[in-house]
């Protein structure tokens, strides 16, 4: 049976563990504080997961770091294939 949220058209996703998640928006107040668009069923001290889009500059630096890291290893050395 579909959930009420899915019947109302609210975006949902399944986590790898199989539990449903709900997508809401939030306004950034400063680098460490968000203002949620609606209340969430959590109390002070609870941990939640949020998803942050990666910007182009961060993507560039990660790619450069990966390339530098991989250049230190010999592709013919099979031990690194199992890491």
pLDDT in tens, 35-46: 999 999 899 999
Q: Are the C-beta atoms of residues 24 and 30 closer than 8 Å to each other?
A: no
Alpha-carbon 5 to chain mean position = 21
For residue 63, the SS3 value is: helix
What confidence score (pLDDT) does residue 81 get?
Answer: 64
What confidence score (pLDDT) does residue 27 get?
Answer: 94
What confidence score (pLDDT) does residue 54 get?
Answer: 74
What confidence score (pLDDT) does residue 8 get?
Answer: 44
* 23 CB-near residues (< 8 Å, 6+ apart): 10, 11, 12, 13
- Whole-model pTM? 0.44
What confidence score (pLDDT) does residue 11 get?
Answer: 53
Please identify every stretch of the chain with a pLDDT value under 50, giving residue numbers as ranges: 1-8
């Amino acid at each position: 049976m579909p959930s009420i949220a899915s019947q109302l058209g609210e975006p949902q996703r399944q986590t790898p563990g199989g539990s449903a998640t709900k997508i809401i928006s939030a306004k950034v107040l400063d680098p460490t504080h968000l203002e949620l668009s609606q209340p969430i069923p959590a109390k002070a001290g609870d941990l939640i997961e949020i998803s942050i889009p990666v910007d182009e500059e961060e993507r560039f630096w990660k790619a450069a770091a990966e390339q530098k890291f991989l250049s230190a290893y010999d592709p013919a050395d099979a031990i690194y294939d199992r890491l």
